[in-house]
Structure 1
Amino acid sequence: MARVVEASAVARRCVADITAERAKCSFPQHEVTAVLDGGEDKTQQRRKIEELFLSDPEFLDAVRPEYLSHEDRYANELRKACHMIGKFNNDEEIQQLVGQMEGIRTLMGSGLGVALTKDGNPLALHFVMFLPAIMGQGTVEQQGEWMGRAWTGEIIGTYAQTELGHGTFLRGLETTATYDPASQEFVLHSPTITATKWWPGGLGKTASHAVVMAQLYTQGQCHGPHPFIVQLRHQDTHCSLPGESHAGEIGPRLGMNTNDNGFLRFTHHRIPRTHLLMKHSQVLEDGTYIKPHNNKLAYGTMVFVRVAICFDAYRQLQRAVTIATRYSAVRRQSELVPGQPEPQILEYQTQQYKLLPLIATVFGIHFSARSVWDTYNEVTGSMQEGNLDRLPELHALSCGLKALSSSDAAGGVETCRLACGGHGYLASSNLPRIYTTTTAAITYEGENTVLWLQVARYLIKSYREACKGHTLRQSVSYLTPQPASSSASPSNLSNHALVKAFRRAVSHLVAEAAARLQKGCDAGMIFEHAWNSCSVQLARCAQVHTRYFTCEKFLSGVERAEVSEATRGVLTRLCRLYLVFHITNNQGDFLRSGALSPQDMSALEGELAALLAALRPDAVPLVDAFDIHDRILDSTLGCWDGNVYHRMVEEAEKSPLNQKDVPDAYHKYLRPLMKANL
Structure 2
Amino acid sequence: MEDLSFIPELLSGPLDVYRNTASFDWKRLKLSIEGDIELLKLKYKIWRTLERDPLFAHNQVTPSVEEQKRLTQLQLKKINEYKFVTKEIFKSSYSKRTRAIMTINEAVQSLNPSVSVKMAIGIYLFSNALLSLGTERHHKFYEATIVNREILASFALTEIAHGSDARLMRTTATYDPKRFEFVVHTPDFEAAKCWVGNLGRTCTHTLLFAQLITPDGTNHGLHGFVVPIRDPDTLETYPGLVVGDMGEKIGVNGIDNGFIMFNHYRIPRENLLNRTADVTEDGQYVSSFSEPSRILGAALENLSAGRIGIMQESCHSIASAVSIAVRYAATRTQFGERDNEIPLLEYDLHQWRLFGYVAAAVVFRIYIENFANVYLNIVEKSNMGLKVDNLSEAVSEIHAMVSCSKPLLTWTVLQAAQQCREACGGHGFLKCANLGDIRNNHEPTVTYEGDNNVLSQQAGNWLLRQYEAALSGNNVDSPLLTVTFLKEHKSIAKLTFQCKNTTQLKTTQFILSTYKWLLCWLLKQTYEKYESYLAKGLTKFQAKAKSQVYRWKNLTKAYAEYLAIIFSLESIEKKEKELQPVLFKLFTLYSLWSLDRHLVELYQGGYCSGDDPARLLREAIMELCGELKSEVVSVVDALAPTDFVLNSVLGKSDGRLYQNLQKALVSHPGTFERATWWREVVPSAKL
The TM-score with structure 1 as length reference comes to: 0.91
Is it true that 1:157 corresponds to 2:157 in the alignment?
no
1:415 corresponds to which of 403, 413, 419? 419
* Residues 460-507 of structure 1 deviation map (CA, whole Å, 9 limit, x = unaligned): 111111111111112222333544587232545322222111110110
Aligned to 2:586: 574
Distance in structure 2 (CA, Å) of the matches to 1:542 and 1:612: 27
Distance in structure 1 (CA, Å) of the matches to 2:60 and 2:184: 42
Aligned to 2:69: 74
Is it true that 1:197 corresponds to 2:204 in the alignment?
no
Distance in structure 2 (CA, Å) of the matches to 1:648 and 1:385: 57
Distance in structure 2 (CA, Å) of the matches to 1:93 and 1:394: 29
Q: Any conservation in 2 of the 1:495–1:579 contact (CA below 8 Å)? A: no
Distance in structure 2 (CA, Å) of the matches to 1:518 and 1:94: 51
Aligned to 2:307: 306
CA 1:64–1:108 in structure 2 vs 1: closer, same or farther (change >3 Å)? farther
Distance in structure 1 (CA, Å) of the matches to 2:65 and 2:148: 28
Shift of 1:41: 4.1
Aligned to 1:635: 648
Q: Any conservation in 1 of the 2:593–2:621 contact (CA below 8 Å)? A: yes
Distance in structure 2 (CA, Å) of the matches to 1:40 and 1:232: 41
Distance in structure 1 (CA, Å) of the matches to 2:446 and 2:570: 27
2:282 corresponds to which of 281, 286, 300? 286
CA 1:76–1:486 in structure 2 vs 1: closer, same or farther (change >3 Å)? closer
Q: Any conservation in 2 of the 1:372–1:397 contact (CA below 8 Å)? A: no
Aligned to 1:343: 342
CA 1:118–1:277 in structure 2 vs 1: closer, same or farther (change >3 Å)? closer
Question: What does 1:323-472 align with in structure 2 at a 5 Å threshold?
Answer: 323-335=324-336, 338-380=337-379, 381-382=381-382, 384-385=385-386, 387-472=391-476
Is it true that 1:675 corresponds to 2:684 in the alignment?
yes
Aligned to 1:509: 522
Aligned to 2:166: 170
CA 1:286–1:346 in structure 2 vs 1: closer, same or farther (change >3 Å)? same
* Residues 179-210 of structure 1 deviation map (CA, whole Å, 9 limit, x = unaligned): 11111111111112111111121111110111
CA 1:188–1:72 in structure 2 vs 1: closer, same or farther (change >3 Å)? same
Aligned to 1:549: 563
Distance in structure 2 (CA, Å) of the matches to 1:479 and 1:379: 24
Which residue identity lines up with residue 352 of structure 2 in the other structure? Y
Shift of 1:211: 0.8
Q: How high is the sequence identity, in percent, across the aligned residues?
A: 26
Q: Any conservation in 1 of the 2:252–2:440 contact (CA below 8 Å)? A: yes
Shift of 1:382: 4.1
Shift of 1:31: 2.4
Is it true that 1:607 corresponds to 2:620 in the alignment?
yes
Aligned to 2:510: 497
Aligned to 2:16: 19
Aligned to 2:675: 663
Q: Any conservation in 2 of the 1:382–1:388 contact (CA below 8 Å)? A: no
CA 1:246–1:396 in structure 2 vs 1: closer, same or farther (change >3 Å)? same
Aligned to 1:4: none
Distance in structure 1 (CA, Å) of the matches to 2:232 and 2:320: 40
Is it true that 1:564 corresponds to 2:577 in the alignment?
yes
Q: Any conservation in 2 of the 1:80–1:117 contact (CA below 8 Å)? A: no
* Residues 325-364 of structure 1 deviation map (CA, whole Å, 9 limit, x = unaligned): 00111111223xx435221111111110111111110122
Shift of 1:48: 3.0
Which residue identity lines up with residue 288 of structure 2 in the other structure? P
Aligned to 2:392, what secondary structure does the other structure show? coil
Distance in structure 1 (CA, Å) of the matches to 2:85 and 2:496: 62
Aligned to 1:271, what secondary structure does the other structure show? strand
Q: Any conservation in 1 of the 2:417–2:439 contact (CA below 8 Å)? A: yes
Aligned to 2:450, what secondary structure does the other structure show? coil
Question: What does 1:117-136 align with in structure 2 at a 5 Å threshold?
Answer: 122-136=118-132
Which residue identity lines up with residue 367 of structure 2 in the other structure? S
Is it true that 1:55 corresponds to 2:52 in the alignment?
yes
Which residue identity lines up with residue 263 of structure 2 in the other structure? T
Q: Any conservation in 2 of the 1:89–1:152 contact (CA below 8 Å)? A: no
1:518 corresponds to which of 521, 531, 548? 531
Q: Any conservation in 1 of the 2:311–2:410 contact (CA below 8 Å)? A: yes
Shift of 1:444: 0.6
Distance in structure 2 (CA, Å) of the matches to 1:27 and 1:583: 28
Unaligned runs of 5+ in 1: 1-13
Q: Any conservation in 2 of the 1:77–1:120 contact (CA below 8 Å)? A: no
Shift of 1:622: 0.4
CA 1:65–1:194 in structure 2 vs 1: closer, same or farther (change >3 Å)? farther
Distance in structure 1 (CA, Å) of the matches to 2:636 and 2:376: 30
CA 1:93–1:53 in structure 2 vs 1: closer, same or farther (change >3 Å)? farther
Aligned to 2:180: 184
Q: Any conservation in 2 of the 1:318–1:623 contact (CA below 8 Å)? A: yes
Aligned to 1:487, what secondary structure does the other structure show? coil
CA 1:665–1:483 in structure 2 vs 1: closer, same or farther (change >3 Å)? closer
Aligned to 1:257: 253
Distance in structure 1 (CA, Å) of the matches to 2:45 and 2:605: 51
* Residues 13-44 of structure 1 deviation map (CA, whole Å, 9 limit, x = unaligned): x9743121111111122221112221344433
* Residues 111-163 of structure 1 deviation map (CA, whole Å, 9 limit, x = unaligned): 34432567776444212322222122110221234433553221221111111
Distance in structure 2 (CA, Å) of the matches to 1:604 and 1:145: 56
Q: Any conservation in 1 of the 2:133–2:276 contact (CA below 8 Å)? A: yes
2:267 corresponds to which of 260, 268, 271? 271
Distance in structure 1 (CA, Å) of the matches to 2:429 and 2:370: 36
373-382 vs 465-474, which moves further? 373-382
Q: Any conservation in 2 of the 1:299–1:391 contact (CA below 8 Å)? A: no
Q: Any conservation in 1 of the 2:34–2:365 contact (CA below 8 Å)? A: no
CA 1:290–1:434 in structure 2 vs 1: closer, same or farther (change >3 Å)? same
CA 1:392–1:91 in structure 2 vs 1: closer, same or farther (change >3 Å)? closer
Aligned to 1:390, what secondary structure does the other structure show? helix
Aligned to 1:321: 322
1:87 corresponds to which of 57, 62, 82? 82
Shift of 1:166: 1.5
Q: Any conservation in 1 of the 2:13–2:654 contact (CA below 8 Å)? A: no
Is it true that 1:480 corresponds to 2:480 in the alignment?
no
Aligned to 2:298: 297
Aligned to 1:8: none
Distance in structure 2 (CA, Å) of the matches to 1:58 and 1:105: 23
* Residues 210-230 of structure 1 deviation map (CA, whole Å, 9 limit, x = unaligned): 111111111211111111111
Q: What is the alpha-carbon root mean square deviation over aligned residues?
A: 2.5
Aligned to 1:389, what secondary structure does the other structure show? helix
CA 1:207–1:512 in structure 2 vs 1: closer, same or farther (change >3 Å)? same
Shift of 1:86: 0.9
Q: Any conservation in 2 of the 1:313–1:409 contact (CA below 8 Å)? A: yes
Distance in structure 2 (CA, Å) of the matches to 1:538 and 1:411: 21
CA 1:231–1:360 in structure 2 vs 1: closer, same or farther (change >3 Å)? same
Q: Any conservation in 1 of the 2:242–2:260 contact (CA below 8 Å)? A: yes
Is it true that 1:38 corresponds to 2:35 in the alignment?
yes
Shift of 1:367: 2.8
Shift of 1:94: 9.6
Q: Any conservation in 1 of the 2:492–2:520 contact (CA below 8 Å)? A: no
Q: Any conservation in 1 of the 2:199–2:259 contact (CA below 8 Å)? A: yes
Shift of 1:58: 3.7
